[in-house]
Structure 1
Amino acid sequence: MRDLPLEKAKAQSETCSTLRCEVHISLTGLTLFLLRAWRQLTFGTYGYLNFTKPGFIEHSKNFKAEDMETRIDGKNCIVTGANSGIGFATAEGLASRGATIYMVCRNKERGEAAQSKIESTTGNQNVHLEVCNLSSLSDVKSFVGLQIANLKSYIFLSQVALTEKWAEMNKSKGIGFYSMHPGWAETAGVAKSLPSFFKALSGKLRTNDEGADTIIWLALQPKEKLVSGAFYFDRAEAPKHLMFAATSCSHEFIDSVIDSLRCISGISAQD
């Protein structure tokens, strides 16, 4: 009987420990919930004011027409997803300025139809189709193994952080890496994957040409005018992160992603 108070005290201690643990987890969950809510609010507000068609119209007041008049004859450009949407508008815009285009498409038939249309619209016959499913590692390895002479311009969608890292890794090689945001465009992909969003912003979304505008602008600018590793939006360098939204990644995390990509692709750290 004399041991009962001790056992009772022990039980109370365990209960308190459990309670403290539960409160700690609850506070952590609340913090994450509030952070997600803040991100959605700030990104949604910023996006509505800037990523929509009215945002493009407002920003275009600062555009210089001569920036888009450059000819890039003899330059080679790879454009992924080039059979529709922003990818098609990008390929068409670059082809109209004389570039040799390599359209990377998953579907051969749709790719051929897009290729024919671009050739007909621009009069540029240097438009080539490469069939590759970018979600297939074997397809990607096969594609990058192709020898394309004098390839100088690459149009890819890349994560901002990785672009920044690649710019740092290759700064001594004279290779530029740039990321951009096309804004919210009225594409088939958006209509299919985000139907409610697409319907709610009907009439306010950008056209494919408006979405492709900064991609084409980047490809036309001299390297000296751009900042390698920078993030661009509507023909201007833009902030990479939302204020107080904890969107920046640590160097350790990005390094781990780079290591994983090297492992998957079989590229050594010296390459």
Structure 2
Amino acid sequence: MSLYRNVVWFVKGMREYTRGGYESASKNFVANDTDVSVEGLAFMITGGNSGIGKAAAMALAKKGGTVHLVCRNKEKADVAKEEMIRESGNSEIYVHLLDLSETRKVWEFAEAFKKEFSSLNVLINNAGCMVNQRELNTDGLEKNFATNTLGVYVLTKCLIPLLERSRDPRVVTVSSGGMLVQKLDSTDLQTERTVFDGTMVYAQNKRQQVVMMEFLAKAYPRIHFSVMHPGWVDTPAVATAMPEFHQRMRTRLRTVEQGADTVVWLATTHANTSTSGGFYQDRRVVSTHLPLAYTRSSQEEVQEFMSKLETLAMSVRPSSADG
């Protein structure tokens, strides 16, 4: 079955996820959907100094939004900030330093942010990683899971009170079509009992993001949650984590602006973006499962996963956290 999923997914990817796939899909876009001013609205973007995150942040800055860049590297973040101010003429760009793989620090950052800022309209969970060897963070958690799943969960849950107090609150999570080859597995969240394959661990994390956001959408109806697949994009992260794929596909990869298009659309559009919790690709809701792939999860499996996530999150929650 995994071979079937991989073959079907790759064929689908060559047709839809490439630059040509974007160009074909964009013919059906409503041109003025993102022609809006977001002045007065605040956006937080993790991994906002590079790749898709930077392209989305630049677009939001040009539309007049207040942009909070959450990044690991201060030097790169400062350079990105200055570039955004220069190109957009918008000085409301803020840099926050955070390594999303360090879960305890995610708690601390989110609590401090809520105390300093009175509103947050849109959270964009963009930062991610694909570590190809099993590594642990300072809390003893596997790094891919800590960054892509648990860090996203803690940051989102912690900021929900602030989002709920703000106008038109939204959470946009940058996932991956790679999640289509994985069924949710809540029995081995940190790849302790199976052979470690960084690509498949990443795909499992991305499936976890989809399940997580579907769950949170039901739990917090005041907020619009969405997950999106940017397609196959030419980013520094892809070049580093998947050098062979990047080399083989480089002429077909999307630009970062094309990859960020649906992020910006979900963060700003006044168009009907369907039911909260949807999975989007090129400005439309798409299925979270391949045909005959048997990747659907039962309610019991989803509940088990979310319960384990909450338990892990609380296990590293600092005593100073009060949110």
TM-score tier by shorter-chain length is: 0.7 to 0.9
Matches within 5 A, 1:177-196: 177-196=225-244
**Range with greater deviation from structure 2 (139-148 or 101-110):** 139-148
Identity of aligned residues (%): 34
The alignment covers a number of residue pairs equal to: 233
Gaps of 5+ in 2: 126-172, 176-208, 316-322
Q: Report the counterpart of residue 2 of structure 2 in structure 1.
A: 36
The alignment partner of 2:78 has SS state of: helix
**Range with greater deviation from structure 2 (221-230 or 78-87):** 221-230
Matches within 5 A, 1:3-152: 35-145=1-111, 146-147=113-114, 148-152=117-121
**Range with greater deviation from structure 2 (58-67 or 221-230):** 221-230
Which of the residues 144, 161, 164 maps onto 2:211?
Answer: 161
Deviation (angstroms), 1:246? 1.7
Q: Report the counterpart of residue 261 of structure 1 in structure 2.
A: 309
Contact 2:44 2:67 in 1 (8 A): yes
Contact 2:17 2:231 in 1 (8 A): yes
**Range with greater deviation from structure 2 (156-165 or 87-96):** 156-165
Q: Distance in 2 between matches of 1:179 and 1:239?
A: 11
Provide, for residues 63-111 of structure 1, a one-character-per-residue CA deviation record: whole Å limited to 9, x for no partner.
Answer: 1111121111111111011110001001111111111111010111111
Give the TM-score normalised by the residue count of structure 2.
0.69
Higher RCO by CA contacts (8 Å cutoff, separation 6 or greater): 2
Give the TM-score normalised by the residue count of structure 1.
0.82
Contact 2:22 2:254 in 1 (8 A): yes
Contact 2:39 2:66 in 1 (8 A): yes
Q: Distance in 2 between matches of 1:249 and 1:98?
A: 41
Q: Report the counterpart of residue 241 of structure 1 in structure 2.
A: 289
Contact 1:178 1:228 in 2 (8 A): yes
Q: Report the counterpart of residue 298 of structure 2 in structure 1.
A: 250
Say which structure is richer in helix.
1
Provide, for residues 162-193 of structure 1, a one-character-per-residue CA deviation record: whole Å limited to 9, x for no partner.
Answer: 1111111112xx11110000000001111111
Aligned partner letter, 2:46: T
Contact 2:266 2:273 in 1 (8 A): no
The alignment partner of 1:184 has SS state of: coil
Which of the residues 205, 209, 212 maps onto 2:257?
Answer: 209
Q: Distance in 1 between matches of 2:312 and 2:47?
A: 22
Aligned partner letter, 2:216: W
The alignment partner of 1:178 has SS state of: strand
**Range with greater deviation from structure 2 (158-167 or 43-52):** 158-167
Deviation (angstroms), 1:223? 7.5
Gaps of 5+ in 1: 1-34
Q: Distance in 2 between matches of 1:233 and 1:224?
A: 15
CA distance 1:226–1:150, change in 2 (3 Å): farther
Aligned partner letter, 2:232: W
The alignment partner of 1:82 has SS state of: coil
Contact 2:33 2:271 in 1 (8 A): no
Deviation (angstroms), 1:154? 1.1
Which of the residues 199, 223, 247 maps onto 1:199?
Answer: 247
Deviation (angstroms), 1:247? 2.0
Deviation (angstroms), 1:202? 1.9
Which of the residues 264, 268, 279 maps onto 1:231?
Answer: 279
**Range with greater deviation from structure 2 (223-232 or 47-56):** 223-232
The alignment partner of 2:224 has SS state of: coil
Q: Distance in 2 between matches of 1:107 and 1:250?
A: 40
Provide, for residues 123-153 of structure 1, a one-character-per-residue CA deviation record: whole Å limited to 9, x for no partner.
Answer: 1111101100000012201111022212111
Contact 1:176 1:223 in 2 (8 A): no
The alignment partner of 1:70 has SS state of: coil
